[in-house]
Amino acid sequence: MSDHTDDPTKPTSQNAFQTPQNYPVPLSPPLPSMSKDIELSRAISASSKSSLHSISRRDFVYEDEWLIAVNKPQGVYCESVFDSVRKFLSDSAEPGIEASPPELHLANRLDRDTSGLMLITKSHKVAAKLVKAFATHRVTKTYIALCIGSVPKWEKITIQSGHGRSKFGAWRVYAASDVGRTLPGGSVVRDMETSFELLSVNGQGIFKEPSEFKKDEGNVIVVEERAEIYTDIEKDEILVRACPKSGRSHQIRLHCQYLGISIRGDVKYEGLYEWKGRTYDGHELHAESLSFEHPITGLPLLFQAPLPSWASEVLQQQ
């Protein structure tokens, strides 16, 4: 009789990599149960809002013959903004002048409820150069987020972790040491890094321009275990600036959750849906600035989107 066994619970060279105990364990919690219905409602509302969306010249932050930067509103899909730009350019063309329409490409994407800067290129060549610039971290991005949680003990901090999701699962934070390991479904844990700067607590603080942001090289968290979050402590309104080095899906939202300062309205990642008697239709995260070398001229560019009302209201308290 053969000693061979097909028991899948006993690791072999064929099945060792498939056994559950060998998969990385996420260090952030699963989606809250309440988030499913709220997210569905928000998606339906965004679809309706997006279908009616139109853009105007005041939404353009920058335009030249190669690039366009526009300010995307909260609750509208990127594709709808892109289509609105295409229509706006077509409608704005001078009558009687025949010219080939530009080869528009979306250079960066924002989540449905994230507002702020979207880049659109006007040719394949420029699109390819910008894709490479984003991939090689030669584009500096800053975001503003309004969070609810306990006051951080840091003024600046950088967090490094893994990022991934199992098949059909939610995005989660993983240990930095898990980067490169395979998850159920075949995807791989990837690295992500975000630097944060504390701007204000309950409206009190000093707002600095994004160009002044410098990360604190001496205050770095390398994630290897679950964060200790205390839910029964007093919560405050915390305005932060985030500068993601990588560009993973929901990166800033996940890292805010890990730090115990989930973004207000971000029900996927434990952000409060209701705060001080008011409910929120989306998370309060804004793509504030982009800086990089112009892909054609080589000149330095810095684009900055106008702040949304929720950020302006906080800053007016200062």
Count CB neighbours of 287 within 10 A.
23
Give the residue numbers marked as catalytic.
Answer: 111
- Could you give the CA distance from residue 20 to residue 41 in angstroms, rounded to a whole number? 34
Q: Which residues contact 110 (CB under 8 A, 6 or more apart)?
A: 72, 78, 116, 118, 287
Residues contacting 76, CB < 8 A, separation 6+: 46, 49, 50, 53, 112
Give the Cβ contact number of residue 92 at 10 Å: 8
Rounded-to-integer distance, Cα 223 and Cα 28, Å? 11
The H or E element that residue 221 is part of is strand 220-222
Q: What residue has token string 């997006």?
A: 50
Q: Please answer whether residues 267 and 32 qualify as being in contact, where contact means their C-beta atoms are separated by less than 8 angstroms.
A: yes
Residue 158 and residue 252: Cα distance in Å, rounded? 11
Please state the length of the chain: 318
CA atoms of 45 and 16, how far apart (whole Å) = 45
Residue type, 75: G
